[in-house]
A = this chain, B = another copy of it.
Amino acid sequence: MAGDGHLGEFELIRRYFTRSDGRPAAGVTVAGIGDDAAVLRIPAGCDLVAAVDTIVEGRHFPRGSEPRSIGHRALAVNLSDIAAMGATPAWATLALTLPAADPDWLEGFSAGLFELARRHGVDLVGGDTTAGPLTVSVQVLGVVPSGEALRRGGTRAGDLIAVTGTLGDAGAGLEIALSPRRPEDRQALALAQRFLYPTPRVEFGRAARRIARAAMDVSDGMAGDLAKFAAAGGLAAHVDVERLPLSAALLGFAPLERALDHALAGGDDYELLVAVGPAEAARLAAAAEESATPLTVIGEFRAGRGVHWTRGGHPFTPARGGFDHFAGPSTQFTD
């Protein structure tokens, strides 16, 4: 630190991770970075919602990914979890392990992180940087009126199953980002962006809170995540793959079978899966429109267990399961 151009941990935190414009959308930051711990005040009558998710180089994103995307994604994957609870994000903490304190990298990473944080009124209140293999662990704290968090369970037979946005874009986008000769056309770039800069459905999740019966985010691929959603409510999900929302970009990039595979098992979509009583479906559609979030009904819950996939009415079996970080990951890169 003594004038040798080497960036120490404290200087690093001060320079890249201390912003004075952090004003949480919900709650008050009494003390942020600079003490042993942050002191936070949540509004009266609210519960706290806490999500934590880690992204590791070579596993959740390719080596050499642009740092701005890494900063964005590390926060986005957690905002998606907060959105799935119908909560309002307020604070984040960051545990950053990185091989070297490279100023260019840190500039990009923090820009990506803070850009998304600002958009959602999130204040970074605590951090920890360590030298080591690139690993980014973010925790987001949000608030929700007491007892109103949107849980995974609580679905009932007859509930409609709906999903936001389109599925499979990120899976295809990752394939594009990994290909040695990156396609340069607009559609391919749009898909790559969907992997690099996912959009957490925060506004919709909050709007859905009092309308939907249950929600979870789709992060490990629809096939595996829908199975978890069904299990949480002790019901059977009946979904026809022809109803899955696929983007024009995805259908332009990949043959239908490959597009469906991305949609079912690609992972990294960060869309919301919601269950809604049929009588509330119109209200939910209106809430989606208000937050400019595409929403598609893809099936329904019935008595039973598991996921019953059909395709045009005929039984169908997805080719791959969901993403599991230890058992056959579908997005394991190099190591």
Residues of A within 8 A of B (CB): 1, 6-10, 12, 30-31, 34-42, 44, 47-56, 58-60, 80-82, 84-85, 87, 91, 93-95, 97, 101, 125-133, 135, 137, 139, 141-142, 144, 146-147, 149, 151-152, 215-217, 232, 324-327, 329, 332
Contact = CB atoms under 8 A, between A and B. Distances in A.
B144 A39 contact: yes
Contacts of A12: 326
Given A36-B152, A135-B135, A326 B59 contact: no
A126 B51 CA distance: 7
B325 A129 contact: yes
Given A58-B132, A130-B325, A40 B36 contact: no
Oligomeric state, in number of copies?
A: 2
B95 A59 contact: no
Given A9-B325, A326-B6, A41 B47 contact: yes
A324 B9 contact: yes
Given A44-B44, A48-B39, A54 B95 contact: yes
A16 to B, nearest CB: 12
Nearest to A323: B9
Nearest to A84: B36
A8 B227 CA distance: 15
Contacts of A51: 36-38, 126
B132 A59 contact: yes
Contacts of A84: 36-37
Contact of A85 (B8, B37, B59): B37
A320 to B, nearest CB: 13
Given A36-B85, A40-B50, 7 more contacts: A1-B324, A6-B327, A9-B325, A36-B81, A36-B152, A37-B50, A37-B85
A99 to B, nearest CB: 10
Contact of A137 (B1, B81, B95): B95
A126 B50 contact: yes
A63 to B, nearest CB: 12
A326 B8 contact: yes
A52 B131 contact: no
A332 B132 CA distance: 11
Contacts of A137: 54, 95, 128, 135, 137
A257 to B, nearest CB: 24
A-B pairs with lowest CB-CB distance, top 10: A37-B51, A36-B84, A8-B327, A95-B137, A56-B132, A133-B133, A36-B81, A137-B137, A54-B95, A52-B93
Given A42-B48, A146-B41, A59 B127 contact: no
